[in-house]
Amino acid sequence: MLNKNIVKLAIPLAVGALALTGCSGDSGSGGDGAYKIAFQGPLSGDNVALGENMQNGIELAIEQANAKGDLDFKLEYVAADDQGLPDKATAAAQKVIDDESVVAVVGPAFSGPTNTSSPLYAEAGLVTVSPSATNPNLTDPKNGFKSFLRGVPNDSMQGAGMATYYAKKLQAKKVYLIDDKTDYGVGLASVAEKGLKDAGIEVVRKAVPQKTPDYSATAKDVVNSKADALIYAGYYQDLAPFAKKLKDAGYKGAGISGDGSNDAKFVELAGDASENWFLTCPCTDATVEAGTKKFAEDYQKKFNRAPGTYSAEAYDITNMIIEQVKGLKGDVQREALRDALAKASYKGLTKTFSFDENGEFKGTDVYLYQVKSGKIEYQGNINELVG
C-alpha cells in the first residue's frame, strides 16, 4: 500500500522538481538556514485557551531543540491564527504556505478549519499533523487531503467511549444528546448516537447552535425529557452557560462532554455547575502520567501554568517533526518531509505516533476525566474503567 502511494507521489514530485530546476528550486529551507514549524489554530476568538495550550507545547519543543545545540540549523515558530473558524482557515493556511521556510504545520487544531484548509496544504505539499482535529471524515481518502496526518484517535473512539461508559458504568436508560452544529460536534455526536443505540439506550438527539443567547429553554427541555444522562458535543464556551442553566433547571442526571470542553476554562466559567461533569479526551493528563512529569515541570516553569489539553501531544508532534527534519540532513523539501512523516513512527511522551495509509492515527485510547471540587481530575483509560 505504501509503495503504491510513493509511486503515485513520485511522479508529480519528479515533474515538479524538473519544473523547478530553473528557479531557485528550494521550497523548503529559508535563506539563513532556519526552518520554521507553524501552528494553525485558535489564537484569538472564542476558544482561544485550546489553541494556546498547543502553541505553548510547540514553542517549548522548539526552544528545547534549539537549546540542545546538536542541530546544524535553527528552528523557528510561526503562528497562524484561524480563530477556530472554517471561514478564517484558508487565509491562515495561505499565510503559512506562502512563507517558504515553513517545512511543517502542527494543526489545524479544529476539525472545521482542517476541512477547509487541507486542500490548500495538499496542493502545496506542506505536511500538517494535527494533535486535536478529531472528526472521523477528515482522513477519508475521497477528500484528497494528502498532506493531513492525524496525531490523535478520532471521534469514533471518543464517541464510542462515551457510549460505552454510559451503557456499562452508569447504566443510563435515556440519553439526551446535543451537538453544537460544528463539524467537530456533529461528528462526535453521530458516533456517540450510534454507540448508544447499539447498546439499546434510548437517545434524544438535538442540535443547539454555538452562541445561543439563552440556554434556559434548552435546559428545561432536557429536564422535561426525563433523560437520566446528557452528552454535549461541543466546546467549553457554550457548555459553561448551558451547564449553569441545567443546574438552575434542577437537572440531576449525569453529564458528559468531549475534548472541546476539557479545559480549566470550563470550570472557571461554569463555577459550581461544572461539578461532577465527565469529560473525555484522547489526551492524557500531562501532570499525572509518569512519562510527562518532566515535561509538565518544564512547561510550568516557562509559562507559569500547568499544561492543558493537548499541550503534551503538540509537544510530541513537534519533536516528531524535528526528528524527521534532522533525518533529511539539510535538504528539507516539503514533499519529502511529508512522505517521511507519513511513514514514521515516533515514541513520544504521551503515546506512539504512527499513521495508516490515509494519515489516520494508529491507536484507540480514550481517557476519562471528571470535574471534582472545582478541578478536572484524571480518571484513566475508559476501556480499563469499564472493565
Partner 1 sequence: MSLQEFWDYLVLGVMLGSLYAVIAIGYTLVYGVLQLINFAHSEVFMLGAYGSLIVLQLVDPGDNPSALASIGFVALAMAGSALFGGMTAYGLEKVAYRPLRRRGAPRLIFLITAIGASFFLYNLAGKLFGRDPLPLPEMYDNHEVFSVFGAGVNITQLLQFATAVVMMIALDLVVNRTKLGKGIRAVAQDAEVAGLMGVDIDKVISRTFVIGGVLGGVAGFLFANLNQVSYTMGFIPGITAFAAAVVGGIGNIRGAMAGGILIGIVETMTVPLLGDEWRSVSAMVVLILVLMFRPTGILGQRVGRAA
Shortest separation between residue 328's beta carbon and partner 1, angstroms: 38
Nearer to partner 1, 94 or 218 (CB): 218
208 near partner 1 (CB under 8 A): yes
Binding partner 1 (rule: CB under 8 A), the pick from 2, 14, 34, 207 is 207
189 near partner 1 (CB under 8 A): no
374 near partner 1 (CB under 8 A): no
Which of 14-22, 145-153, 220-228, 342-350 is the region at the interface with partner 1 (rule: CB under 8 A)?
220-228
Number of shown-chain residues binding partner 1 (CB under 8 A): 32
Q: Grid cell 503562528 — which residue?
A: 79
Which residues, 9 to 48, sit near partner 1 by CB under 8 A? 44-46, 48
- Do the beta carbons of residue 73 and residue 89 sit within 8 Å? no
212 near partner 1 (CB under 8 A): yes
174 near partner 1 (CB under 8 A): no
192 near partner 1 (CB under 8 A): no
Which of 16-24, 63-71, 183-191, 201-209 is the region at the interface with partner 1 (rule: CB under 8 A)?
201-209
Shortest separation between residue 48's beta carbon and partner 1, angstroms: 5
227 near partner 1 (CB under 8 A): no
49 near partner 1 (CB under 8 A): yes
Nearer to partner 1, 8 or 211 (CB): 211
- Do the beta carbons of residue 130 and residue 160 sit within 8 Å? no
Shortest separation between residue 369's beta carbon and partner 1, angstroms: 20
Shortest separation between residue 236's beta carbon and partner 1, angstroms: 9
217 near partner 1 (CB under 8 A): yes
Residue among 235, 252, 127, 126 at smallest CA distance from 185: 235
- Do the beta carbons of residue 88 and residue 61 sit within 8 Å? no
Nearer to partner 1, 226 or 294 (CB): 226
Shortest separation between residue 240's beta carbon and partner 1, angstroms: 6
Which residues, 250 to 289, sit near partner 1 by CB under 8 A? 250, 265, 268-271
Shortest separation between residue 78's beta carbon and partner 1, angstroms: 20
Binding partner 1 (rule: CB under 8 A), the pick from 173, 211, 293, 294 is 211
248 near partner 1 (CB under 8 A): yes
Binding partner 1 (rule: CB under 8 A), the pick from 220, 228, 328, 386 is 220
Residue among 96, 60, 91, 54 at smallest CA distance from 75: 60
d(CA 333, CA 28): 5
246 near partner 1 (CB under 8 A): no
Which stretches of the chain bind partner 1, using CB under 8 A? 44-46, 48-49, 181, 206-209, 211-218, 220-221, 224, 237, 240-241, 245, 248, 250, 265, 268-271
